[in-house]
Amino acid sequence: MNRRVAVTGLAAGLAAIVAGGGVWLHTRRETAATGIGERRLVRLPGGALANLNTDTEIAWHMGDILEIWVEKGEAAFRLSGGEAGRAILHAATIRAELVAGSYNLRLFDRGPRLAVMTGVAIVSGAGELAQTLRANEVLIGNASGFAKTALSSEDREQADAWQRGEIIFDGMELAAALDEFNRYLTRPIRLADPSIGAVRLGGRFHVDDPAGFLQSLNDGFGIRSRREDAAILLYQQ
C-alpha cells in the first residue's frame, strides 16, 4: 500500500514537473541584442518591427497580446494596424499600452524616455497615475516619477537619424556630443583638454565614420586627435 502511494505520488510529481515545464515554455521570452556600434532590425510576432540601436537588449513574448521588455539601450517600434497592432511595452519603471503606430524608447541612467511618433500610448508605473501620450509627445521618467511634454522637432529628427546610422548635433557642447558618439564606439573619444568641452557643434555625422567626425573637429575648430590604446584623445592645437 505504501509502495502504491509512493508510486502514485511520484507519477503526480512528474506530471506536475511536465506541466510546469509546459507553462515555462509557454511564457518563455525570446530575446535580441546588439553590441556596441551595431544596429539590428527584428521582426516580432503579429507583424511588429523592432529596430535596435547600439548596445541594446530587448525581450518579448506573444500571448493574448504582444509584450516587449527593453532591458537596456534604445529601440524603435512599429506596430501594424488591426488586432495585431497592440502591444505592452515594459521599460524600467514604466508600462505602456501601445496601439498601431511608431514609438522610440531609450533608457537613460536617470530613467526611460518614450517618444510617440504616431499612435497612442497609455503609460503607467512609478506610482504615477496613467497618462495618455499621443503623436508628437514624449514621456520622460526619473527617480521621482515621470512627466509628459511635447516632442521637439530636433528630438524627432534625432530619433529618425539613428535609424539611418546618423547622429545630429545642433548646438550641442562637445563634451555632451562625445557622450552621444561614444555610444557607438569601442574605442571612445575623450577630452585631453577639458577647456574645449564647451565648444558647440553643428552638423550631421555617420556613426560608422568617427574619422570623418574627427576631421571635422580639426577643420572647423583646430581640435586635434591622438590615438592611444584605450581611447582617442582630443586637444587644441
Of all helices (H) and strands (E), which one includes residue 92? Answer: none
* pLDDT at residue number 237: 76
Q: 81-109 burial by CB neighbour count: b if 16+ within 10 A, else e? A: eeebbbbbbbbbbbebbbebbbbbbbbee
For the domain 30-156, what is the CATH code? 2.60.120.1440
Q: Give the domain ranges of the chain.
A: 30-156, 165-236
* pLDDT at residue number 146: 85
> pLDDT band for position 144 (50/70/90)?
confident
* pLDDT at residue number 132: 96
pLDDT tens, position by position, 65-117 = 999 999 999 999 999 876 668 999 999 989 999 999 999 999 999 899 999 99
d(CA 213, CA 197): 15
DSSP E strand stretches across 34-136: 40-43, 49-52, 57-62, 66-72, 74-79, 86-91, 94-99, 101-108, 111-118, 120-125, 128-134
- Looking at 1.20.1260.10, 3.55.50.30, 3.90.850.10, 3.90.25.10, the CATH number of the domain 165-236 comes to 3.55.50.30
Among the ranges given (36-40, 101-105, 117-121, 141-145), the one the predictor scored with the smallest mean pLDDT: 141-145
Average pLDDT of the chain is 88
pTM score of the predicted model: 0.85
> pLDDT band for position 126 (50/70/90)?
low
**Alpha-carbon distances, residue 82 vs 85, 87, 99 (angstroms):** 5, 12, 9
d(CA 208, CA 109): 24
